[in-house]
Structure 1
Amino acid sequence: MTSKKLTALSFIVLSMMTLLVAQVRATDELEIGVNEGMGSCIKKCAIKCLPFLSPPRIAACSALCILACKLIPPAIVMDCTTGCTNSIIDTYKPTDVVKVNNIVGSCYKTCKHNNL
């Protein structure tokens, strides 16, 4: 396995663990209708996001995928969140997983508030 692929895989595992902790914290605060376990979301999202070799893109893809899988927001909210996240990442180019997760969370809150 090349070093880039190993780094990407390690980053996916790290970002998934970060998202898992955030999800556990969020379920204490929100009433979320969960249709499937976190394990199936992580597996689905890891496969979907593996082709991205840029750490911020992997984190954003993973966070957006987990959000869609666990919270099942309306399409308009999900589209808004994806556009907002990609725009901010393109502009500020964050390098930290936590920053990317915070960007996704902030975009989701704004989009949900504006579209529901």
Structure 2
Amino acid sequence: MAAKKLTTMSLIVLAMMTLHAAQVRAIDELNIGVKEGMGTCIKRCAIACIPILAPPRIAACAALCILACKLTPPTVVMDCTTGCTNSVIDTYKPTDVEKVNNIVGSCYKTCKHNNL
């Protein structure tokens, strides 16, 4: 059981680092404001996602959480992004954190375009 928790924590840290890099790029590219510091957001998201033991779900949880606290999209866009992400993960069953991050990003762009 301790090995699973260690693996889970390692994956969360990896996901957070990947998401942090993507988030910084997105903020720079989109020239958007942020409402809180990255550290606060990462801590909150890590705590929320720790109970999930499936690596793709951990990455998706973290990506969606960070998206919500950093970009604060409208509820309709966030709900659409969450549904889209879960559907694609269920269909393709990705095993790489970066693939999950790309899925969340793609779903967000599509949902934002279709709902704003």
What TM-score range do you get, normalising by the shorter chain?
over 0.9
SS in 2 for 1:81: helix
Runs of 4+ in 1 over 4 A off after TM superposition: none
2:9 matched to which residue of 1?
9
Deviations 1:10-35 (A, max 9, x none): 00000000000001111111122211
Calculate percent identity across the aligned residue pairs: 80
Aligned length in residues:
116
Deviations 1:9-68 (A, max 9, x none): 000000000000001111111122211100000000000000000000000000000000
TM-score when normalising by structure 1: 0.98
1:29 matched to which residue of 2?
29
TM-score when normalising by structure 2: 0.98
Cα offset for 1:106?
Answer: 0.2
Structure 2's unaligned 5+ residue stretches are none
Matches within 5 A, 1:53-68: 53-68=53-68
1:79 matched to which residue of 2?
79
Q: What amino acid does structure 2 have at the position aligned with 1:48?
A: A
Supply the distance in 2 between the matched residues of 1:101 and 1:114 (Cα, whole angstroms): 20
Q: What amino acid does structure 2 have at the position aligned with 1:25?
A: R
RMSD: 0.8
